[in-house]
């Protein structure tokens, strides 16, 4: 497993997000520029990583600061960047993710599947990707416990990108 130093791509993010100058953390609260083409309805609820992952086995860690909703995972490079209809964080949209949603932890699949956490608060997540094995897994980076795994993911032969989303009261940071 090769540890990847993920950086966030300001070009692959919605203007509702504020990305740090070192491209390692994000939060909501960036300025919305309503003077350009498109409108707020076109803003997607995520930030993409800059790093394209096409082969091999990779992992990276994400730290959660706050208790609001968030999601981390990977997406096919062809993910819809302009929203005509609601984009779901799901494998059918080419997104494999885990996160906190409406007070509980969930694996974002065809429907949100609860991730049992025994009352613990998840602060650091390790995302692991096996491109050839078509697997994405998520672990508690502090305890090493595997939280969830997508087996036989349908990457369709496409390169993948890290993907992130945060609620209003949460900040995410990726390890260097």
Question: DSSP secondary structure string, 134-157?
Answer: TEEEEEETTT--EEEEE-S---TT
Q: Are 98 and 122 in contact (CB under 8 A)?
A: no
Task: Please tell me the distance from the alpha carbon of residue 116 to that of residue 34, in angstroms, as a whole number.
Answer: 41
The whole-number pLDDT of residue 74 equals 93
The token pair that represents 99 in the structure block: 């996160």
Q: How far apart are CA 129 and CA 134, in angstroms?
A: 8
Looking only at the bridges linking them, the beta strands covering 47-49 and 25-28 are unpaired
C-alpha torsion sign, points 100, 141, 65, 5:
negative
Q: What are phi and psi of 42, to 5 degrees?
A: -80, -10
Q: What is the pTM of this model?
A: 0.86
Residue 90 clears pLDDT 90, i.e. is over it: no
> In 10 A of CB 124, how many CB atoms?
15
Which of 28-32, 88-92, 141-145 comes out lowest in average pLDDT? 28-32
Give pLDDT tens digits for 23-78. Answer: 999 998 855 444 444 443 345 678 999 999 999 999 999 999 998 899 999 998 88
Q: Let me know how many helices (H) and strands (E) the chain has, helices first.
A: 0, 15
Q: What are phi and psi of 40, to 5 degrees?
A: -60, -30
Per-residue confidence (pLDDT) for residue 101, from 0 to 100: 83
Characterize the bridge pairing of strands 2-3 and 57-65: parallel
User: What domains are there in the chain, each with its CATH number?
Assistant: 2-174 (2.60.120.920)
**Terminal C-alpha separation, the chain:** 16
Q: Which residue has the tokens 């694996």?
A: 107
Higher pLDDT residue, 116 or 100? 100
Tell me, what's the pLDDT at 6?
95
């Amino acid at each position: 497993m090769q540890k990847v130093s993920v950086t966030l791509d300001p070009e692959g993010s919605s203007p509702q997000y504020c990305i740090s100058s070192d491209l390692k953390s994000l939060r909501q609260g960036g300025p919305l520029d309503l003077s350009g083409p498109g409108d707020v309805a076109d803003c997607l609820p995520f930030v993409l990583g800059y790093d394209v992952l096409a082969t091999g086995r990779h992992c990276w860690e994400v730290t959660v600061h706050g208790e609001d909703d968030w999601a981390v995972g990977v997406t096919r490079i062809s993910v819809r960047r302009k929203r005509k209809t609601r984009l779901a964080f799901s494998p059918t949209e080419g997104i494999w993710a885990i996160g906190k949603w409406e007070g509980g932890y969930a694996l974002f699949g065809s429907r949100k599947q609860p991730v049992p956490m025994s009352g613990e608060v998840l602060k650091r997540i390790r995302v692991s990707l096996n491109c050839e094995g078509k697997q994405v897994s998520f672990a508690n980076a502090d305890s090493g416990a595997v939280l969830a795994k997508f087996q036989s993911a349908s990457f369709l032969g496409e390169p993948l990108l890290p993907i992130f989303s945060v609620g209003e009261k949460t900040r995410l940071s990726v390890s260097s």
